[in-house]
C-alpha cells in the first residue's frame, strides 16, 4: 500500500481567536483530504460533529489546554463535556506543575482518573507532555509512568510553547514506550519534509495547522 501522509494528519485549529468560520473550513478541508481527524477547541466540538457527520474523520479536542495545571476535577468535567458533545479523541495536557515539583504520584492519580471515562466511552486518550520545556530525563520518566497505563498516544506539544515537536523527542518517546502505544507529533510542523522526518522517527500521528500546505508539498514530492 502506498504511503499517504493524509492518514497521519489531524487538521488542527486551536488558536485563542478561533472562529466558527475557521472551524468550518478545517472540517471541509479534512473531509476533502481524508485526514484522520480534526482537532478543535472544546466549544466547537458540536459544530465539527455536525459538519463531519457521515464522514470517517474523527473529532479530537483538548483538555487542560494549554497549560495543564487545572486540578483533576476540572479536567474530568472538561472530559465529560467533550464526550457528551461527541468528541472521539481527547488530548490532555498533564500537570506540568506536578512534574516540575517531582510529584509523580499526582500525575499517576490524574491519568488514572482521567483515562477511565474516556476508555469507558470507547474513545481515545492522548497525553500531551510539552516536550519542549522538559529535559530528556523528564521525558523518559513520563514515558515510563504512562507506559503503565493504557493510554492511546503520547503527544509531544501543545503548539503554545517556544519549542514544539522535534525528531529527538520522537525518538526518545519511541524508545521508552510500548510498541503498541501511538506517538503524536505536534507544534511547528509546517512543511512536508519535517513531517516526513517525524514519521520516519516514529510519529504515528501529526497535529498540523499547515496541513493544506503539507499536502501540496507531499504531492509535489511523490507525484501523488
Residue with cell 494528519: 9
Measured on CA atoms in the order 70, 71, 72, 78, is the torsion positive or negative?
Answer: negative
| Alpha carbons 173 and 192: distance in angstroms, whole number | 21
For residue 40 the three cell numbers come to 478543535
Cβ atoms of residues 154 and 126 within 8 Å: yes
Spatial CA neighbour of 8 closest among 173, 136, 193, 195: 195
Q: Is 14 helix (H, G, I), strand (E, B) or coil?
A: coil
For residue 218 the three cell numbers come to 507531499
For residue 211 the three cell numbers come to 496541513
Q: What are the catalytic residues?
A: 91, 155, 184
Amino acid at each position: 500500500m502506498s504511503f499517504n501522509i493524509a492518514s497521519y494528519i489531524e487538521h488542527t485549529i486551536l488558536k485563542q481567536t478561533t472562529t466558527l468560520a475557521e472551524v468550518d473550513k478545517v472540517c471541509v478541508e479534512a473531509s476533502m483530504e481524508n485526514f484522520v481527524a480534526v482537532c478543535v477547541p472544546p466549544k466547537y466540538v458540536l459544530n465539527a460533529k455536525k459538519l463531519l457527520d457521515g464522514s470517517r474523520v474523527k473529532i479530537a479536542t483538548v483538555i487542560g489546554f494549554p497549560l495543564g495545571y487545572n486540578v483533576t476535577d476540572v479536567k474530568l468535567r472538561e472530559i465529560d463535556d467533550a464526550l457528551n458533545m461527541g468528541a472521539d479523541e481527547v488530548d490532555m495536557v498533564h500537570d506540568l506543575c506536578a512534574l516540575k515539583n517531582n510529584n509523580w504520584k499526582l500525575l499517576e492519580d490524574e491519568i488514572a482518573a482521567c483515562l477511565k471515562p474516556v476508555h469507558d466511552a470507547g474513545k481515545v486518550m492522548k497525553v500531551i507532555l510539552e516536550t519542549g520545556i522538559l529535559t530528556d530525563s523528564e521525558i523518559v520518566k513520563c514515558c515510563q509512568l504512562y507506559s503503565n497505563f493504557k493510554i492511546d498516544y503520547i503527544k509531544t506539544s501543545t503548539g503554545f510553547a517556544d519549542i514544539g515537536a522535534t525528531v529527538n523527542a520522537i525518538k526518545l518517546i519511541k524508545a521508552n514506550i510500548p510498541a503498541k502505544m501511538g506517538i503524536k507529533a505536534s507544534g511547528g510542523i509546517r512543511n512536508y519534509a519535517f513531517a516526513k522526518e517525524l514519521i520516519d522517527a516514529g510519529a504515528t500521528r501529526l497535529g498540523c495547522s499547515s496541513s493544506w500546505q503539507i499536502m501540496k508539498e507531499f504531492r509535489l514530492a511523490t507525484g501523488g
